[in-house]
Amino acid sequence: MAMSFSPATPVRSIFQRKSLSPGGCYCRGPGYEKCHLNIGIAFTLRSAANYVRLGDGAREYSGKLIVAKRNFQKRTGIFRCATMEEIEAEKSSIEKDVKERMEKTIETVRTNFNSIRTGRANPAILDRVEVEYYGTPVSLKSIAQISTPDSASLLVQPYDKSSLKVIEKAIVSSDLGLTPNNDGEVIRLSLPQLTSERRKELSKVVAKQAEEGKVALRNIRRDALKAYEKLEKDKKLSEDNVKDLSSDLQKLIDEYMKKIETIYKQKEKVLSM
């Protein structure tokens, strides 16, 4: 049965909503999920007035239901390709880190070799001696002057004479095999000639330290390769780029391996004298 309208009947009273969700919205159109957001439903009416008046003849009203989409939409990532400058900067950073770590490795090997006693007196053999100075461990060379009065002895002169006893204790506790002579002013150390058996023991120690240095270099290479592989995974480097960089890295490793081998042979030569 047709509904009768008066000319002033509000359109809002015509379009009645049957049931609303708790939030006041019933978005059930194709492609939309049921929405309980309190956003309401908007009607776009083809009229400039709040109400539509119907004339005497049957004027047809045309309205359009606007369904609100859910406000919360899945975000999509935004990707920006790295520039050539950024890629070169990352490569340079990796190469710089590799060289710095390799240089430190070589320096550590040298320091360890110098701390091993040979036939001649060398202040460097005390470099690894630590002294408990006022409750804080410090290196001996930082609190005393070390000199070589002759080829077979060392002289330790502390800046603070009250530290003589702790310095003496530290030297005795070290693995140098030296007996300090404390006269209340300075400490004298006499270096006895190395026996054949002792030379063999020290030679093994040197070989072990050289191998530790080589292992450290291999670890540096491993870390650099991982960094290059990550750049490849991030599409900043091609597979060919990584192969070229890996080849250059291997050449650098070989160079530093030779450096360790050279200083190792030099130390071996001194021990055999």
Is 41 in contact with 67 (CB distance < 8 Å)? yes
Contacts of 227 (CB under 8 A, 6+ apart): 94
Q: What is the pLDDT of residues 212-238, one digit of tens each?
A: 999 999 999 999 999 999 888 888 888
The β-bridge partners of 220 are: none
Q: What is the mean pLDDT of residues 18-29?
A: 43
Least confident residue range of 173-177, 201-205, 249-253 = 173-177
Percent of the chain with pLDDT over 90: 34
Q: What is the mean pLDDT of residues 258-271?
A: 91
Q: What is the pLDDT of residues 98-112, one digit of tens each?
A: 999 999 999 999 988
**For all residues of the chain together, what is the average pLDDT?**
75
Q: What is the mean pLDDT of residues 245-265?
A: 93
Is 129 in contact with 115 (CB distance < 8 Å)? no
The β-bridge partners of 45 are: 63
The helix/strand count (H/E) of the chain reads as 4, 8
Give whole-number Cα distances, 22 to 17, 39, 42, 73, in Å: 13, 11, 17, 21
pLDDT score, position 68: 40
C-alpha 202/C-alpha 113 separation (Å) is: 10
Higher pLDDT, 16 or 194: 194
Q: The pTM is what?
A: 0.56
Q: What is the mean pLDDT of residues 80-91?
A: 71
pLDDT score, position 196: 85
Q: What is the mean pLDDT of residues 54-70?
A: 41
DSSP state of 58: -
Task: Report whether pLDDT(15) > 90.
Answer: no
